[in-house]
Amino acid sequence: MSEAFRLPVVCLISGRGTNLQCLIDGWATGELPVELCAVISNRPQAAGLARAERAGIRTEVVDHRDFTERGAFEQALRSRIDAYSPRLVVLAGFMRVLGTAFVDAYRGRMLNIHPSLLPELPGLDTHRRALDADSSEHGASVHFVSPQVDGGPVVVQARVPVLAGDTPESLAARVLEREHIILPAAVRWFAQGRLRLEGEQVYLDDRPLTSPVILDAQGQWHFENAREKP
């Protein structure tokens, strides 16, 4: 892979940062052609901050509790993000709802990982809700962020079976393992210039995706309209 260009990326986190760790690992090995400019957390105690620090990546905290209005929090967050001039913002377990002005500022260059097969189960507590609904299948989605919470165009999904005896924790662990594959994949496609958003349409390899890329339960990739495998 050419070392010539690495896409500047800022990651936003709120918690433990295992998805962030996968991006750090891909960045460190050169597998992901990205420069992780900074990791910004809205929670000072987020374990992901230590992961970034260990890797020598700059960290910042913009604590939402320091602001009485969401708009002021988001303005502060934007100014910290923009200081790094990222070409991509990755929400890697960032647990704040973002307003329209914020989302519009990064339209087409902000990706989120969500633990469900969107459009099913937007919002919180998805693993418990999948079990409550007796779903036979669950999973995770990487999508471009739109003002509608967990509602933006989906790029790639990982499907996992729901097994007899699953608890929210066991199901979450099975999903998380797949999150760690699909988030770096989407970031890599974007960094390679293979993935883009035009309006509401996702393009991969210059072809409109008629449906998300799928990583199935057997670990097989399924593409429609894409030229190459990931």
Quote the least distance from Cβ 114 to ligand GRF, whole Å: 5
C-alpha distances out from residue 64 to 20, 88, 153, 191, 200, Å: 20, 22, 27, 29, 29
Alpha helices (H) in the chain, listed in sequence order? 18-29, 47-54, 70-82, 100-105, 126-132, 168-191
Which residues are annotated as catalytic? 114
Q: How many residues does the chain have?
A: 230
Task: Show Cβ contacts of residue 153 under 8 Å, excluding neighbours closer than 6 positions.
Answer: 143, 144, 146, 197, 200, 201, 202
157 is a site residue for ligand GRF (CB under 6 A) = no
26 is a site residue for ligand GRF (CB under 6 A) = no
18 is a site residue for ligand GRF (CB under 6 A) = yes
204 is a site residue for ligand GRF (CB under 6 A) = no
One-letter amino acid at 111 equals L
Selected binder of ligand GRF within 10, 11, 19, 166 (CB under 6 A): 19
Count CA atoms within 13 Å of residue 136 on its CB side.
0
**Residue 171 or 226 having the CB closest to ligand GRF:** 171
138 is a site residue for ligand GRF (CB under 6 A) = no
184 is a site residue for ligand GRF (CB under 6 A) = no
92 is a site residue for ligand GRF (CB under 6 A) = yes
Contacts with ligand GRF, residue ranges (CB under 6 A):
15-20, 48, 92-93, 113-115, 140, 176, 179
